[in-house]
């Protein structure tokens, strides 16, 4: 018998589920990556201290400096992106939960013929 839901079961907000855990987990990972990138920048700089003095006169010194600068910029860009992503993911979690609650309230108010054994 067709219950008016296209075979998907009764029209009910009970099937609308939202979990903030994946969003919050992703935010935690993004923050962790931002911290790791900051540490990597520090280690990169420390590992290259004094290299210019030890390689004076070598053509590779300028190339090494370019590579160091390039990696420093990349790490900073990745760190900044992760840093800004963490709060955005947490905000998305909250917004999704609020949206789900609003939709659930509207869906619960819909009665279709045959839903829950009664006519709406």
pLDDT single digits (tens) 16-53? 567 888 999 999 999 999 999 999 999 998 988 877 77
Task: Give percent above pLDDT 70 in the chain.
Answer: 67
Instruction: Show the tokens assigned to 99.
Output: 């949206």
Q: Is residue 25 part of a domain?
A: yes
pLDDT at 109 over 90: no
Q: Is residue 82 part of a domain?
A: yes
The whole-chain average pLDDT of the chain stands at 78
Rg of the chain taking only CA atoms, in angstroms: 27
Q: Is residue 79 part of a domain?
A: yes
The whole-model pTM stands at 0.61
Q: Is residue 56 part of a domain?
A: yes
Q: Is residue 15 part of a domain?
A: no
Total number of domains constituting the chain: 1
Average pLDDT over residues 88-99: 81
Q: Is residue 47 part of a domain?
A: yes
pLDDT at 62 over 70: yes
Q: Are 79 and 38 in contact (CB under 8 A)?
A: yes
Q: Which domain holds residue 93?
A: 21-102
Q: Is residue 117 part of a domain?
A: no
Q: What is the predicted pLDDT for the residue at 70?
A: 95
Q: Is residue 114 part of a domain?
A: no
The band of 69, judged by pLDDT with boundaries at 50, 70 and 90, is very high
Q: How far apart are CA 44 and CA 31, in angstroms?
A: 20
């Amino acid at each position: 018998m067709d219950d008016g839901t296209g075979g998907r079961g009764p029209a009910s907000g009970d099937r609308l589920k939202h979990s903030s855990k994946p969003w919050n987990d992703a935010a935690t990972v993004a923050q962790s990556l931002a911290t790791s990138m900051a540490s990597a920048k520090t280690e990169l700089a420390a590992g290259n201290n004094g290299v210019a003095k030890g390689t004076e006169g070598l053509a590779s010194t300028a190339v090494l400096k370019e590579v160091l600068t390039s990696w420093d910029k990349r790490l900073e860009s990745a760190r900044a992106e992760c840093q800004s992503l963490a709060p955005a993911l947490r905000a998305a979690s909250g917004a999704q939960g609020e949206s789900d609650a609003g939709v659930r309230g509207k869906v619960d108010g819909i009665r279709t013929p045959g839903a829950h054994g009664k006519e709406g």
